[in-house]
Amino acid sequence: MQISAGAQGCGTEPRTGRAGTVESMTLAVSVPTAELARDLEPLPDGVEVIVWEMDAPAPRAHLDIVVPPYMSGTSGFGHLAGVETRLVQGESIGYEGIEAKLPPGVVFANAATVHETSTAELAVGLTLAVQRHLDDFARDTAAGRWAPTYAQSLADRRVLLLGYGGVGKAVARRLAPFEVDLVPVASHARVEDGVSVHGIDELAELLPSAEIVILTLPGGDATRHIIGEAELAALPDGALVVNVGRGPLIDTDALVRHTAAGRIRAALDVTDPEPLPAGHPLWSSPGVLISPHVGGASSAMHPRIAALVRRQIDHLLAGEESENIVIRT
């Protein structure tokens, strides 16, 4: 499928295609789905959108913007070799491991502004679900069982928010009406917009008083196992660990030991390994609720990724630098 809007040029010279033919002076954008192509309409004059799922060679030698499929990893990046492109626009916020899979000369942007709201919603939802036993009530509903229970509130709890970037700030905004005692932690201590943010070097002294820990950090070597055996042991009995960042932020073996003993509870949208295999002990650990990496998978995503791609199109048409650039190979 190919969607075209206008035949006017956009200030560029004609390009020679793979077969030696002269291509029209358009800004060419490839997207992985017809739905995203439709969401981009109406397009400015001189912009052409092509649906390319990156599961086959590129449809042409020059694509100004390439949008890879969502949650596909880097499986299609090999098809970028030999393609002249000005921007690869990812659909996820995280980008660990991507640079090594990109050919030289590629500019890559992540999807900041797209998933923060949806991921923050899920973080708060998972927290409430475990605190108020909503997962237990769902099982009771299926069994036709009326079983009232006393639960922990979210109100008045001391919440350690580990990560104060886009997702972390979105979580903080949504927690404000719940009247929690919020303790943000980031790479370094600072005061940001009137909020006192603690540095990661203070983590050891902050954990013993944390009743809930919410992780929103990115993945990578710098954050791998930032919550390990020592950190879990430092938490008080009954503490809840919520992870909507990346699975390897937590040492899974250590988490299994603490949850299996009933000392720590967990709500995980991301795991290590992922997908979590059948029979893994986390599935049967008491006090553990798992969602299958769906933080950004909501109706909020499609209009927001379309808005981001439209802004990137406008930047290129105006001769401006793209936003959200995180990698230049």
Pairing relationship of beta strands 265-268 and 47-51 according to DSSP bridges: unpaired
Point out the catalytic residue in the list 60, 79, 246, 258.
246
Point out the catalytic residue in the list 274, 320, 321, 328.
274
Residue 217 to residue 241: CA distance in whole angstroms: 13
Write down the residue that tokens 């990724």 correspond to: 305
Residue 299 to residue 59: CA distance in whole angstroms: 29
Give the distance from CA 119 to its chain's centroid.
Answer: 7
Point out the catalytic residue in the list 60, 198, 293, 304.
293
| Residue 286: cis peptide before it, omega within 30 degrees of 0 | no
- Assess whether 293 carries a catalytic annotation: yes
Task: Give the angle 89-318-326 at the CA atoms, nearest 5°.
Answer: 30
| Residue 275: cis peptide before it, omega within 30 degrees of 0 | yes
- Assess whether 274 carries a catalytic annotation: yes
Residue 320 to residue 126: CA distance in whole angstroms: 40
* 8 Å CB contact between 249 and 224: yes
From residue 285, how far is each of 12, 71, 149, 258, 262 by CA, in Å? 59, 27, 20, 9, 8
- Assess whether 79 carries a catalytic annotation: no
Question: Catalytic positions, please?
Answer: 246, 274, 293
